[in-house]
Amino acid sequence: MANLIRSDFYKLFRTKAFYFCGIIAALLSSLGVILLNSAINSELGISASLLGYDGVYALITGTGQATLFVTIMISMFVPNEFSFGTIKNIASKGISRWNIYLSKVIMSMFISVAYVLLCAIVSFAIGSFMWGTGDLTREVYLNIFKMLGLFLVAEVAVQSIFVMVGFIVRQTGGTVAVNLAIIIAVPVVVIPALNFGVQSLLKVEDFDSSNYWPFTYLSRYLSLDVIQEDVTVGLIVCLVFIILSTALGIFSLYKRDVK
């Protein structure tokens, strides 16, 4: 298992897309903060810092840029292992498919942490340079760490779904298409349809299926004052999706031939 993980890291670090996606994510994080500052200066003619903007606000604004690029990397990395025959070669050496799948899950976690922290650090630096760091008390630091920790849990849950898709589809183009469809179709089509069905048929007026979708918590957790109910429910939802998607991915890997 350890050798398998080391091999994955070696391949990841030799992949130019890993660095390219990270750089683009960091640039977009910075650009979002810069454009916000420019818009406030143009419309109001004052510094954004006078309105309470600071490095911490910039960190919150920029961190969310990581998700798209983590998704892109995973949508390429996992299917490429099938396209290049890497997984077939590994499986032929007697390494269990459980270990093969788990190594890719660990890799997706690493990519998530790397990109999220990169976007957070860069956006905080840019925001602090323009607006100041703000009042960095012990409580603020703890809230930042809590926010990043919760966001990473939601990020890992989301990416565990995309790892599963990669193992099921096994082709880069198809994996990217399915993952984009999940990102777009679920909040626009599936969740409203479920809400309508439950509310109209079962007469549950306050039902909201988005509360049981890990993508929802990517946005809810980007806050220093997230409510405890969202923390509790979100962690349960994310852990359930991590377990289910991993179980389904491993089941698919065991039931299908590796070609």
Q: Which domain holds residue 44?
A: 2-255
Residues with Cβ within 8 Å of 211's Cβ and at least 6 positions away in sequence, in order, are 233, 237
Number of domains in the chain: 1
223 torsion bin: left (phi>0), alpha (psi -120 to 50), beta (else) = beta
pLDDT tens digits for the chain (259 residues)? 778 888 888 889 999 999 999 999 999 999 988 888 888 877 777 777 777 788 899 999 899 999 999 999 999 988 988 888 888 888 888 788 889 999 999 999 999 999 999 999 999 999 999 888 878 888 989 999 999 999 999 999 999 999 999 999 988 889 999 998 999 899 989 999 999 888 887 777 788 899 999 999 999 999 888 999 999 999 999 999 999 999 999 999 988 877 6
Encoding tokens for residue 114?
């790397």
Encoding tokens for residue 1?
């298992």
